[in-house]
Structure 1
Amino acid sequence: MSRWVEERLQSLTLEQKIGQLLVGQAEGTEVSESFRRFIEKIPIAGYRINGPNIEHPGQVKSLTAEIQRIYARLGLDFPVIFACDQEGGVLSVFGDCVSEFPGNMALGAADSVALTERQGQLVGWELSEMGMNHLLAPVADLNLEKQNPVIGVRSFGDDPERVASHCIHFQRGANRGGVAVSAKHFPGHGNTATDTHLGLATNHTEKDVLRRTELVPFQKMVNAGVDSVMVTHVVFSEWGSMPASLSPTVISGLLRHEMGYDGLVITDDLAMGAVRNLVSAGESVLRFIQAGGDIAYMHDGRASIEEAYGRLLEAVRSGELTEERIHLSLRRILRFKQRIATYQHAREKLGTSGTDLARQVAEQSITLLRDPGRLLPVAPDKKLLVVLPQLCNLSEADTSDQQEMKLVTYLKQAYPQVSVVELSLDEAARDGLWQKANEADLILQGTINAYRFPGQIAVMKKLAEIRPLIAIMLRDPYDSELIPFDTTVLATYAVTEQQMATLVRQLQGALTFKGKVPVKLDDHVKRRKEEW
């Protein structure tokens, strides 16, 4: 491996070496002549593939193969990185091109590392079939802030050891399926209330506490030989005032020296507001490399790539950045590229369909938190009112508006009398809602992130005064802390098809509830019982 790396390193021009420090955003669903000329002008390390690049699996495979052929004609005979944010659940950029899974918190609720590993393998296989080779997952963050606007159910939970175990098994599966992974968002994005896509988030937790909590999954993954680590733009005040992605103290000091990681370090998208509001594209990439990073991911188009490329070239020529320093990163990058080629060559297909595996996850994950009124199971002759929130993207790391919630479809197959009302997340009520409630025997109300959208709870309290009500937390389970204690509460963690189909079977009593909430919920709901 070392000889191959050194031979490739010596074969590259300075300009080609600098290109390998960048990953950009692919353009379109096929390689246009304009995009081809750009690739030939600045052959960077690779490209992210997401929504605008995706029509169907065959098209994606053709797109990645054509880009790889362009690099081969340039004499760059090693893999192009094709990266994606296919986490499952609320962040599923490939939509119906791949199997639909409910995401990490559902896996945390199922708490079966065997299921997690199998899901990783199936996801890896499906992605590698399309030429993808770098999965920007798993999320190794502990979700410790219930009002976190961007992590939430993307996390496996809040227990350091449990999250670490799921992350490690997910990597094993994904590697076996044919792709490399990236542990994100180092040193942790789960204890913030700010979305770094929009602005700067700060974590003031003390170092000793961080080492016992948020750093644990990352340290365990480092020890297990994780393929790459993605650094977040969160500021950790214990290590200075700069975003982690630009901080030598965090990257070179904490991750490289203290935690012992000498593998590939990449950034979260440097076009995000947390960084771009502070420094330009070119300066952010230079600072990241100087801080100890390897590949800057920048997903806002050619102009930023050209600016960053030019700034790095200027920095080498002026002496701000040495070629020796670039070689340190190039060796890591080339070793990583050899890894992804090995994973692709040795990949193994899981002997289970995506639908069957998603059903297993659903049956193990959906959680009954409480049923004080003994409303379960629901008899088939009940007249149901179903009140559901309209799906929408809650951050840039969210693809929920592309999902179709099929809960009502499955309910109507099981219950002949179902009436439905949809409300936006901030909608107080709708004409006729109270009348429909009076006409029903039982109300099922879904919630999504009620701490951020508390109007859902106000509606719920009024509905619960009219008829018995079952609350279904369709996303973050923290909603249970706001829901009246004498209400039946369920958690599905996602609205994927198998989660909804399984939930209906559980409502009927055909299946039991096996999941356990993987985050701590405040006990104050018990103390407040008398208020309701």
Structure 2
Amino acid sequence: MLEKFEKLTTEVKIILGMIVALFIVSFILIFNGNNTSNKKNGKETVNLTVDEGMTKETETQTEPVTEEGNQKEASLNAKNDAEKLMKDMSLHDKICQMFIVSPEELTGVSLATLAGDTTKASIEKNPVGGIIYFEKNIKKRDQIKEMIEGTKKYAKDYNNVPLFACVDEEGGKVSRVASALDDVTKLDSMYSYKDKGTDTARSNAKTIAESIAELGFNVDFAPVADTFSNSSNDVIGDRCYSDSYEECASLVSNAVKGFADGDVLCTLKHFPGHGDASGDSHDGAAKSDKTLEELKKEDLVPFVSGIKAGAPFVMVGHITMSDVDNEIASLSKTIITDTLKGELGYQGIVITDALDMGAITSSYKSDEAAIKAIEAGADMLLSPASLEDAVKGVEAAVKDGKISEDRINESVLKILTLKCDSLDQ
């Protein structure tokens, strides 16, 4: 073969050499082309082997990492962490996570101004999801910081679950912290700022959030999303942001953003709207005769806006909407499950208003109210008249099959996920 090749003319040898060279170059180009896979404009083409030796070309988009993507990943991680925490919890401990109580109700003392051995023992006995503090608990800046920090530590030491440290700090007449401490920025009622626009609503909320976060609070039961639509309603009155549903919606949604700016979890209240109700739920029944359709066009508008802005809590008031349901809203499946969670699609934490208020205690015992609230769809229960009776009542209801443990788990997973996602670990 070699002899035959050597007999070829020089010209033929050159032509054959060129053909071989072209073949090699072509092979290299094809090989590299398959590997680079037409990468253009951030898109990549991938060849997938399918049945019978055929290939299918699938296009995938290479997307940049976004803040929204990071948030989704963080939320997923928080849920995974929450599921791990819940697996190690007893039924009793899970039920306790559904309650937020005062330090006095937790410990049994007449006035709590520090967190010591009694608080530690009480947390271990009833590891509640949160504590709500009032003006009477706040004597000095260092004192309340140490009290909150100590209570959080006892909760974390017991079951590794962060604690909601809560307060009612709306501005105006409902300002537990600003009323107790001289060196905290004092704001007027939110209604007095209604003509100053959305930027003011946001900055006011941020100011409140930063003031209370510095002391250790991580949950504020504000903003009030009720609308001051009834001038004779002095129970809510100027705690509202406006007397206009649309303006209220705009201001409340910006307040929600302001609380987030200040790193505090906020709460829309008092669903489905206390602004036009008659009566005071602190003492007895509060009522409204609005239909559900009227509520959707009016009172619910600020709540919808606040929910869209990302409010992590919605508090349901003790209002009887007589044309919607004869049951008090905080104990009503129609209001909580069908309307708030169903029609409005709210997926955050639903918390009742304080269950030691006259609207509840005049008709229900602590265990009865707690059971009815959970059956209605509430995730957290605020201040029952008796924590001990309420917890025991819910435990008995689960053991008797009146409430399923899956129903408890549904709410507790929400609570733990928010804690893992938003609170210091």
1:183-202 aligned within 5 A: 183-202=268-287
Deviation by residue 1:343-380 (Cα, 9 ceiling, x = unmatched): x69xxxxxxxxxxxxxxxxxxxxxxxxxxxxxxxxxxx
Secondary structure at 1:229 match in 2: strand
Indicate which of 389, 398, 422 corresponds to 1:316: 398
Q: Distance in 1 between matches of 2:173 and 2:296?
A: 29
Q: Does 1:273 align with 2:350?
A: no
Tell me the residue number matched to 2:185: 99
- 8 Å CA contact 2:249–2:301 kept in 1: the answer is yes
Deviation by residue 1:265-289 (Cα, 9 ceiling, x = unmatched): 0011010001110101111111101
| 5+ long unaligned stretches in structure 2 | 1-77, 105-111
Q: Distance in 2 between matches of 1:221 and 1:283?
A: 31
- Shift of residue 167, structure 1, vs aligned partner: 1.0
- Shift of residue 133, structure 1, vs aligned partner: 0.6
Q: Which amino acid counterpart does residue 150 of structure 2 have in structure 1?
A: E
* Aligned residue pairs, count: 338
Distance 1:339 1:152, change over 3 A: farther
Q: Does 1:66 align with 2:150?
A: yes
Q: Distance in 2 between matches of 1:122 and 1:221?
A: 18
Q: Does 1:47 align with 2:136?
A: no
1:122-521 aligned within 5 A: 122-298=207-383, 300=385, 304-341=386-423
- Shift of residue 130, structure 1, vs aligned partner: 0.9
Structure holding more helix per residue: 2
Q: Distance in 2 between matches of 1:203 and 1:317?
A: 37
- 8 Å CA contact 1:140–1:155 kept in 2: the answer is yes
Deviation by residue 1:233-260 (Cα, 9 ceiling, x = unmatched): 0001122111000000000000011110
Deviation by residue 1:91-110 (Cα, 9 ceiling, x = unmatched): 11111522100021012132
Q: Which amino acid counterpart does residue 24 of structure 1 have in structure 2?
A: V
Secondary structure at 1:238 match in 2: coil
Distance 1:233 1:35, change over 3 A: same
Q: Which amino acid counterpart does residue 321 of structure 1 have in structure 2?
A: I
Secondary structure at 2:323 match in 1: helix
Tell me the residue number matched to 1:22: 99
Deviation by residue 1:203-238 (Cα, 9 ceiling, x = unmatched): 101222211110101112222221110000000112
Tell me the residue number matched to 1:108: 194
Q: Does 1:86 align with 2:169?
A: yes
Tell me the residue number matched to 1:366: none
Q: Distance in 1 between matches of 2:257 and 2:338?
A: 28
- 8 Å CA contact 1:148–1:192 kept in 2: the answer is yes
- Shift of residue 32, structure 1, vs aligned partner: 4.3
Q: Distance in 1 between matches of 2:384 and 2:421?
A: 24
- Shift of residue 299, structure 1, vs aligned partner: 5.9
- Shift of residue 53, structure 1, vs aligned partner: 0.8
Q: Which has the higher contact order (CA 8 A, sep 6+)?
A: 1
- 8 Å CA contact 2:172–2:187 kept in 1: the answer is yes
Q: Which amino acid counterpart does residue 25 of structure 1 have in structure 2?
A: S
Deviation by residue 1:82-136 (Cα, 9 ceiling, x = unmatched): 11111110111111522100021012132x2111111111211111111101100
Secondary structure at 1:148 match in 2: coil
| 5+ long unaligned stretches in structure 1 | 346-532
Q: Distance in 1 between matches of 2:222 and 2:344?
A: 20
> Alignment identity in percent?
30
Q: Distance in 1 between matches of 2:265 and 2:420?
A: 11
- 8 Å CA contact 1:244–1:250 kept in 2: the answer is yes
Q: Distance in 2 between matches of 1:325 and 1:120?
A: 34
- 8 Å CA contact 1:180–1:339 kept in 2: the answer is no
Secondary structure at 1:239 match in 2: coil
Deviation by residue 1:406-426 (Cα, 9 ceiling, x = unmatched): xxxxxxxxxxxxxxxxxxxxx
Q: Distance in 2 between matches of 1:113 and 1:335?
A: 30
Q: Which amino acid counterpart does residue 161 of structure 2 have in structure 1?
A: F
- 8 Å CA contact 1:149–1:194 kept in 2: the answer is no
- 8 Å CA contact 1:25–1:299 kept in 2: the answer is no
Secondary structure at 1:23 match in 2: strand
Query: Which aligned segments of 4 or more residues in structure 1 are displaced greater than 4 angstroms?
Result: none
Tell me the residue number matched to 1:38: 122
